């Protein structure tokens, strides 16, 4: 059997295969609420056979949203519809996962199809939070440098979000510490210019992420998997490096993180990304080997054979797909066919599994 279709168990959770739907912002919420769009979007990919389906970046507080249209989990009222989604995903034999996020200085923007720019004050712009008052782009409004009280509130927000995620029925939590959002901003020496115990040395810059991991891990107990998405490199000279990532992954492993989801970039407007098929896979491999921790490979993986090869070469343990899953929600079922793995189709769709020539 293809390795992509071998089950993988992490703690008490068994994934039926190693294909994962990557978190993807849908910018389709009002006041943070999930709705029919999210149910159908995530539900179809669970019907399509993925072993793990992640929600998009789900904001732990209103000001932690990239846009006013982001999904959120900052109040108990959000739980009910999220539970409907998690229950549907689980009913397809897939594992429902949620990505918890705070957008930091990249918050208070419009959605991509509404201009992808900072909100204006008449559009209810809000003050963004960051480790230091340095904006992502020179033209962006300056963020507020977080006080220690803000940091304490952030940890409470992550804790409460994790509690709600469990109530909603999610079985995996991923902490978003990549792509230049708040936790990534603390990690990077380019965006974190603090002088207190949360800035300066590597140990100080990783402190907030480790503390957030502690509060989320304690909510999950030992039973459920915890993933962290990082930007393994920053693609800028003197920025966060792969060596930093390996060192961080070791610390995260000691804190009970099970898997590092290895993305890159997003924290500097000066980044130069040599994007090409599989370009981030070497990061998953280096972190897996260097920190002896499970990793997920993501980024320009588009074919079943690429997925299988990455797993066979031991470069990563999960294959995480975003845009290919938008092109083909049934990617996983199609991949099984291509890799000659006999997987269960939804019973409702069984008659389409093999091409037969009868109408009956």
Ligand X SMILES: Cc1cc2nc3c(=O)[nH]c(=O)nc-3n(C[C@H](O)[C@H](O)[C@H](O)COP(=O)(O)O)c2cc1C
Residue in 236, 251, 300, 339 binding ligand X, rule: CB under 6 A: 300
Closest contact distance (angstroms) between CB of 358 and ligand X is: 37
Q: For residue 118, what are its two tokens?
A: 């900072």
What does the chain come to in residues? 360
Q: Between 208 and 298, name the residue whose CB sits nearer to ligand X.
A: 298
Query: How many Cβ atoms from other residues are within 10 Å of residue 141's Cβ?
Result: 16
Residues that contact ligand X, how many (by CB under 6 A): 20
Q: Quickly list DSSP for 280-316.
A: THHHHHHHHHHHT-EEEEESS--SHHHHHHHHHTTS-
Residues 237-276 contacting ligand X, CB under 6 A = 263
Closest contact distance (angstroms) between CB of 22 and ligand X is: 3
Give the binding range for ligand X (CB under 6 A) out of 165-173, 285-293, 298-306, 309-317.
298-306
The span from the CA of 319 to the CA of 27, in Å, is 24
Site map 163..192 versus ligand X, x via CB under 6 A? -------------x-xx-------------
24 binds ligand X (CB under 6 A): yes
Site map 25..64 versus ligand X, x via CB under 6 A? x------------------------------xx-------
Give the binding range for ligand X (CB under 6 A) out of 118-126, 132-140, 294-302, 339-347.
294-302
The span from the CA of 220 to the CA of 222, in Å, is 6
Closest contact distance (angstroms) between CB of 194 and ligand X is: 24
Beta strands in 71-140 (DSSP E): 95-101, 129-130
Give the binding range for ligand X (CB under 6 A) out of 20-28, 124-132, 212-220, 333-341.
20-28
14, 13, 21, 17: which is closest to 5 by C-alpha?
A: 17
Closest contact distance (angstroms) between CB of 357 and ligand X is: 36
Q: Between 103 and 293, name the residue whose CB sits nearer to ligand X.
A: 103
Residue in 145, 247, 278, 322 binding ligand X, rule: CB under 6 A: 322
- Catalytic residue (choose from 27, 181, 198, 330): 181
246, 257, 134, 138: which is closest to 185 by C-alpha?
A: 134
Q: For residue 192, what are its two tokens?
A: 């974190």
Closest contact distance (angstroms) between CB of 230 and ligand X is: 10
Interhelix angle 148-168/79-91, nearest 10 degrees:
50
Interhelix angle 202-220/242-254, nearest 10 degrees:
40
132 binds ligand X (CB under 6 A): no
Residue in 117, 313, 323, 351 binding ligand X, rule: CB under 6 A: 323
Q: Is residue 181 flagged as an active site residue?
A: yes
The span from the CA of 271 to the CA of 268, in Å, is 6
Residue in 5, 15, 22, 227 binding ligand X, rule: CB under 6 A: 22
- Exposed (0-12), middle (13-18) or buried (19+): which is 105, by Cβ within 10 Å? buried
241, 215, 245: which is closest to 230 by C-alpha?
A: 245
Contacts of residue 43, Cβ cutoff 8 Å, sequence gap at least 6: 85, 88, 89, 92
**Distance (Å) of CA 269 to CA 24, 25, 273:** 21, 20, 11
Q: Between 111 and 153, name the residue whose CB sits nearer to ligand X.
A: 111
Closest contact distance (angstroms) between CB of 202 and ligand X is: 23
Site map 214..233 versus ligand X, x via CB under 6 A? ---------------x----
Closest contact distance (angstroms) between CB of 140 and ligand X is: 19
* Catalytic site positions: 181
Residue numbers of the site for ligand X (CB under 6 A)? 22-25, 56-57, 99, 176, 178-179, 229, 263, 298-301, 321-324
């Amino acid at each position: 059997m293809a390795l992509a279709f071998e089950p993988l168990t992490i703690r008490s959770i068994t994934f039926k295969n190693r294909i994962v739907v990557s978190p993807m912002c849908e910018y389709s919420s009002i006041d943070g609420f999930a709705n029919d769009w999210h149910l159908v979007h995530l539900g179809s990919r669970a019907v399509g056979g993925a072993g793990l389906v992640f929600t998009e970046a789900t904001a732990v507080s209103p000001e932690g949203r990239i846009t006013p249209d982001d999904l959120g989990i900052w109040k108990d009222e959000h739980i009910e519809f999220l539970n409907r989604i998690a229950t549907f995903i689980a009913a397809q034999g897939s594992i429902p996962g949620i990505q918890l996020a705070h957008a930091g200085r990249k918050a208070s923007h419009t959605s991509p199809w509404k201009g992808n720019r900072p909100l204006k004050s008449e559009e209810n712009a809000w003050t963004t939070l960051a480790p230091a008052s340095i904006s992502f782009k020179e033209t962006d409004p300056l963020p507020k440098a977080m006080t220690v009280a803000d940091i304490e509130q952030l940890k409470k927000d992550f804790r409460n979000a994790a509690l709600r995620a469990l109530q909603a029925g999610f079985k995996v939590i991923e902490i978003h510490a990549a792509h230049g959002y708040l936790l990534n901003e603390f990690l990077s020496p380019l965006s974190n210019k603090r002088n207190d115990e949360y800035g300066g040395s590597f140990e100080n810059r990783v402190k907030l992420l480790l503390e957030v991991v502690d509060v989320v891990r304690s909510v999950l107990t030992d039973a459920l998997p915890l993933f962290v998405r990082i930007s393994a490199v920053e693609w800028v000279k003197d920025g966060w490096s792969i060596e930093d990532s390996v060192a961080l992954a070791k610390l995260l492993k000691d804190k009970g993180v099970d898997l590092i989801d290895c993305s890159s970039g997003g924290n500097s407007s000066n980044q130069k990304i040599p994007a090409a098929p599989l370009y981030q896979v070497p990061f998953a491999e280096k972190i897996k080997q260097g920190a002896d921790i499970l990793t997920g490979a993501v980024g320009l993986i588009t074919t079943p054979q690429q997925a299988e090869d990455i797993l066979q070469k031991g470069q990563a343990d999960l294959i995480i797909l975003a845009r290919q899953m938008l092109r083909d929600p049934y990617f996983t079922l199609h991949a099984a066919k291509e890799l000659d793995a006999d997987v269960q189709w939804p019973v409702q769709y069984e008659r389409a599994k093999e091409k037969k020539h009868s109408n009956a």
